[in-house]
Structures are given as structure tokens and as C-alpha cells.
Amino acid sequence: MKTNKNWGFNSASYWMTLLLAAGIIFIGGRFIIAPSVGANGFGIPISGVEDLPYGRIKGIRDIFSGLMLLPFLFLKMRRSAALALTAAIIIPANDFCIVLMTNGAKDIQHLLIHGLTVVYMIVTSILLFRKNTHPE
């Protein structure tokens, strides 16, 4: 286990990753507690009671995605956090495509939410991978 003792609370990439992890845990919790509210926020409303379990399924997967980053952060494993975060970019990118295919290009609000999440994750990933000439 390789840790980076200089990376942590004083690093923008640390806080950006922590914010992302906390945000996706919150979103997952919202899907479990109130699947209809979560689905509306996602951009594809749940159409009936029979769809509620799918919201809860998405919720637990979101919670796992956020929790997956926390050990890397707490153990100051920047490279591991970078690899996990980079791999996870496929999730909001896919969400963007699902909303686009389901709602079309007219759903700018939800496309922006998912698209800006992709951009935020790419920027965070770049910051996590970059070699520093000074300690973070």
C-alpha cells in the first residue's frame, strides 16, 4: 500500500474527490429513501410503484460508488483514488447518454447535470494524476 503523505487536506484534488464521494452517497441515499424524488432529479421519472425497486437498486450502487473512494482518501492513496475515479467516469457519461436517448436534446437541465459531472470528474482525475513539483 503506497500512500502519499503530502496529499490530503491541503490538496484541492483531495477535497474535489471527497465532495464527489459525498455527493454520490447523498444521491444514492435519496434514491433509497425516496426513489421518485431521486428519479426526477436524475431526469427519468419513475412511472409507477412497480418501478420503485429500480430506484433503490440505483441507490445502493451510487452509495457503493461513493464509499469506494473513501478508503483511498482516508489512507491518502492518491493514485488509487485517481484510478477508481477515472474508471467511474463511465457512470455519469452513461447517465448522460440514457437521458439523451430517453428525453432527447430538449432536456438541457438533466443533460447539463450529467455532462458537467463528467467534466468535473475528468478535471479531478487530471489533478489526481498530475505530478507535482511541490507538495500538495
Query: pLDDT tens across 83-100, in order?
Result: 999 999 999 999 999 999
For residue 124, what pLDDT band results from cuts at 50, 70 and 90? very high
Tell me the pTM.
0.88
Q: Which of 130, 127, 116, 125 is nearest to 88 (CA)?
A: 125
Q: Under a CB-based contact definition with an 8 Å cutoff, are residues 35 and 59 in contact?
A: yes
Per-residue pLDDT, 26:
97
Q: Three-state SS across 65-79?
A: HHHHHHHHHHCCCHH
Per-residue pLDDT, 1:
63
**By three-state DSSP, how is residue 48 classified?**
coil
Rounded Cα distance, 95 and 24, in Å? 13
Q: Which of 132, 133, 120 is nearest to 18 (CA)?
A: 120
| Model confidence pLDDT, tens digit, residues 53-81 | 999 999 999 999 999 999 999 999 999 99
